Amino acid sequence: MASPLTYTSLDDIQDAVSYLRVNFDTGKTRPLAFRKFQIQQLYDLVKNNEERLYEALAKDMNKPRSEALSGDIAPVLEECLYFLENLDGLAKEEKTSPRLGMHAMDTVKVRRDPLGVVLIIGCWNYPVQLSLVPLVGAIAAGNTVLLKLSEVSAHTAALLTELIPRYLNSDAYRVINGAVEETTYLLEQKFDHIFYTGSPMVGKIVMKAASKHLTGVTLELGGKSPAVITPEADMQTVANRIAFGKFYNCGQICIAVDYVLCPADRLDAFVSAFTKTVKEWFGEDPKTSKDYARLVSVRHVDRIAGLIQNRKSGGIQFGGQVDRDERYIAPTLITDVKFDDDVLMGDEIFGPVLPVITYNSLDEAITMIKKNPPPLVLYVFSKKQKLIEQVLQNTQSGGVCVNDTLMHQAEYSLPFGGIGNSGVGNYHGHRSFRAFTHERGILQKKQQLEFVNKVRYPPYNSTRDAILRNFMVTHPLVVYLKQKRGSIKAALILIVLFLVYLKKRA
């Protein structure tokens, strides 16, 4: 079938970048009223075209309507409303108390300025959320934006390409489309920030390209996110929640449970609970279930089928069926997988295959997690806070979700982002605003009292240096007294009470 998407020519890409630069320089995108109007328009875009977006997402990957609602539509609507309500407060100048004694009489403040021309590169698995949620933050912060949609989810990209210019101001926000050639050319242009969602491999290409212009980046990447089950966990609940985190969008989600670490003596309980869940949710033949998505491309079907066929360990408990024409891979559970199986345990799976590795002590599970780079999320299933703490204290990850999967990503009061191989920076809510904002520190003095400044002007001498030192370095005694503030207060109260007592007795 011919792609519904037309790629942007390289000339048009260059024109768009220049045009956005000129328009940023006019200051058009800075007024809060302009930003809010555009955010309202973006809200209307999604709200008024919800049905068409569901259709496009279904064409791209058979995404069930409920998953499209919770994973694509709702987050964008909610983020627009958040910024409409909070933008005034977020954009306000922040007055700070000066630390240096010599600035006690001055104004010290932080302005929240836009970064400039921002490039956002979206990803195909949540093509609405992962393109438009960063866009809301970039608009809120007052930038002009070039949005590169994912060519992989071509139907959704084609629809957004049609809708965005109808709702948003084209002087300030432009959409472009293309694949590797167009992205490579795009990355040669100078931007003031690049926000990229995708694989760590392309993340490195983005960072390298950005370094040529010393452009800042936010990289929302992926990795192998484990789920650790501790021995006393309630297996049916755990199985339900892990199945949700594995088969939502057919496993094509950066925070999918990539593999499970299960206590060896609870493996049978996990397998029977997980099998029950999958049967209840998708029936005897998941291919006929309307609630089970498809892989986005044949390339991904072949890649995941290859993981199942070429695995170096483990036995299939259920699943493994592949229909290339339908881009279908059955929900698949593989147990007795070895951690050093470089096929199943090499790269992120990003599909509906769940390897289970058993462990004998929690320390052994922690050691396995630490052999991989820090994942985007770490899932822990436990009823014991001590065990949860043991896992958290000895590991690193972008985020953590305890006793559930995926839902931490929907909680926009939390920062969302990776660490090391799983990403650079974070976003959502006020953190999106910060990701696209330059905090411009301002010290504002008056022209009076020039004699005070003599202390820092030449000719230098030891007396001036001594005064300067007192102005610039807090005396350690002051720090000590501040630290002991509580005890000093208590001692003073006791002394006062004692004096009152003495006076009454006298």
Catalytic positions: 220, 254
Closer residue to ligand NAD in complex, CB, 235/349: 349
DSSP-derived secondary structure for 329-364: E--EEEES--TT-TTTTTS---SSEEEEEEESSHHH
Answer for which of 152, 176, 334, 369 binds ligand NAD (CB under 6 A) is: 152
Closer residue to ligand NAD in complex, CB, 67/348: 348
| Cβ partners under 8 Å of residue 496, min gap 6 | none
Instruction: Report which of 8, 10, 29, 42 is spatially closest to residue 171, judged by C-alpha positions.
Output: 29
- As measured in angstroms, the least distance from the Cβ of 129 to ligand NAD is 9
Answer for which of 123, 305, 365, 377 binds ligand NAD (CB under 6 A) is: 123
| Cβ partners under 8 Å of residue 455, min gap 6 | 464, 467, 468, 471
Candidate segments 176-184, 302-310, 331-339, 445-453, binder of ligand NAD by CB under 6 A: 176-184
DSSP-derived secondary structure for 110-177: EEEEE-SEEEEE--SSSTTHHHHHHHHHHHHTT-EEEEE--SSSHHHHHHHHHHHHHHS-TTTEEEE-
- As measured in angstroms, the least distance from the Cβ of 482 to ligand NAD is 41
Instruction: Report which of 24, 36, 3 is spatially closest to residue 174, judged by C-alpha positions.
Output: 24
Closer residue to ligand NAD in complex, CB, 26/184: 184
Answer for which of 173, 350, 381, 433 binds ligand NAD (CB under 6 A) is: 350
Contact predicate 164/176, CB 8 Å: no
Answer for which of 125, 189, 215, 240 binds ligand NAD (CB under 6 A) is: 125
Task: Give the helix/strand (H/E) hosting 424.
Answer: strand 423-424
Answer for which of 3, 184, 211, 474 binds ligand NAD (CB under 6 A) is: 184
Which residues inside 415-454 make contact with ligand NAD, applying CB under 6 A? 423
Instruction: Report which of 436, 210, 261 is spatially closest to residue 365, judged by C-alpha positions.
Output: 261
Q: Is 348 in the site for ligand NAD (CB under 6 A)?
A: yes
Contact predicate 329/250, CB 8 Å: yes
In the three-class reduction of DSSP (H, G, I as helix; E, B as strand; rest coil), residue 383 is classed as coil
CA 72/CA 122 separation, integer angstroms: 12
Structure tokens given for 9: 């020519």
Closer residue to ligand NAD in complex, CB, 60/277: 60
Answer for which of 198, 216, 351, 375 binds ligand NAD (CB under 6 A) is: 198
**Number of chain residues interacting with ligand NAD (CB under 6 A):** 23
- As measured in angstroms, the least distance from the Cβ of 259 to ligand NAD is 14
Answer for which of 32, 74, 81, 205 binds ligand NAD (CB under 6 A) is: 205
Q: Is 202 in the site for ligand NAD (CB under 6 A)?
A: yes
Q: Which residues bind ligand NAD (CB under 6 A)?
A: 123, 125, 130, 150-152, 179-180, 183-184, 197-199, 202, 205, 220-222, 254, 348, 350, 376, 423
